């Protein structure tokens, strides 16, 4: 079994990318949206099980209203534009988060695409929108409590937005080395990779290279190597 099957990306650096080119921040978001399409297709071609993309955090709601509403419109356009490709590639699409603040039309588009693709067996493409790791954890606690379920790691994982959720590799673009409230539970044993490349410049080549390189990392999960055990018993 391949060691990197579930990948998550913090798609950061759009605003700085645009500002460095003396353009408004939103221009960076437009370019970034096109990159999403290429990277998802590559993830699908590579045969990954899932790709979870951080598109809009709970904290991002506090940005200026013009940028926030632009991002909402961009999501809507993305859903219209990408539907065909998602269906053709047998991708299963789902949005994770509390995105109830979106307008009715966009909410409908999301649920239509989720329904249309729910039986698809290819890449599980997850879009984290209105997503916060802490609020996801609290939501899962409340869910277990309401259903009077035993608090176990297994039940807890199932109560998250996406029940099949452990991440093997977390990539962050844009140069910062932090998690910014993303998938706090799911990255417990993820490999981390930070690249200085801003999201609008992130290419399918760099993506494939990162996966290839991190696949070679030795993931020990707290254990020790068989080789070391042999050495110890000598």
Question: Given the rule CB under 6 A, which of 54-62, 81-89, 162-170, 213-221 is the region that contacts ligand IPE?
Answer: 54-62
Residue 54: contacted member of ligand IPE, Mg ion, none (CB under 5 to 8 Å, by partner type): ligand IPE
CA angle, 171 then 174 then 175, to 5°: 90
Residue in 4, 11, 43, 171 binding ligand IPE, rule: CB under 6 A: 11
Token representation of residue 107? 């909410």
Residue in 7, 8, 10, 123 binding ligand IPE, rule: CB under 6 A: 10
Residue in 35, 39, 55, 125 binding ligand IPE, rule: CB under 6 A: 55
The answer to whether residues 79 and 106 touch, using CB atoms and an 8 Å cutoff, is: yes
Map the footprint of Mg ion across residues 3-62, applying CB under 5 A: 12
Active-site annotation holds for 155: no
Map the footprint of ligand IPE across residues 104-123, applying CB under 6 A: none
Those residues whose C-beta lies under 8 Å from the C-beta of residue 97, and which sit 6 or more positions away, are 56, 58, 128, 129, 130, 131, 132, 136, 161
Residue 95: phi, psi to the nearest 5?
-105, 130
Active-site annotation holds for 163: no
CA dist list (Å): 56 to 67, 130, 148, 202: 11, 5, 32, 18
Residue nearest ligand IPE, Cβ-based: 15
**Strands, E assignment, 73-230:** 92-96, 124-131, 169-172, 191-194
Using the minimum distance from each CB to ligand IPE, give the nearer residue, 93 or 199.
199
**Site of interaction with ligand IPE (CB under 6 A):** 10-16, 54-57, 59-60, 71, 174, 176, 178, 180
């Amino acid at each position: 079994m391949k060691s990197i099957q579930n990948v998550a990306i913090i798609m950061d650096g759009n605003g700085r990318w645009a500002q460095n080119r003396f353009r408004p921040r939103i221009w960076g978001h437009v370019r970034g949206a096109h990159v999403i399409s290429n990277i998802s297709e590559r993830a699908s071609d590579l045969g990954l099980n899932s790709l979870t993309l951080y598109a809009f955090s709970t904290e991002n709601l506090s940005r200026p209203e013009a940028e926030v509403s632009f991002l909402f419109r961009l999501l809507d356009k993305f859903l219209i534009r990408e539907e065909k490709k998602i269906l053709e590639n047998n991708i299963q699409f789902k949005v994770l988060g509390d995105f109830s603040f979106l307008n009715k039309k966009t909410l409908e588009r999301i649920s239509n695409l989720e329904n249309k693709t729910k039986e698809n067996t290819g890449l599980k493409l997850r879009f984290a929108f209105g997503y916060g790791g802490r609020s996801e954890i609290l939501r899962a606690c409340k869910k277990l409590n309401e259903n009077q379920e035993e608090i176990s790691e297994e039940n807890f994982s199932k109560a998250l937005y996406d029940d099949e959720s452990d991440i093997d590799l977390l990539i962050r673009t844009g140069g910062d080395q932090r998690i910014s409230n993303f998938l706090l539970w799911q990255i417990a044993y993820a490999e981390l990779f930070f690249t200085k490349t801003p999201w609008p410049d992130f290419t399918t080549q760099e993506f494939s290279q990162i996966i290839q390189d991190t696949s070679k990392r030795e993931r020990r999960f707290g254990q020790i190597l068989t080789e070391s055990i042999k050495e110890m018993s000598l």
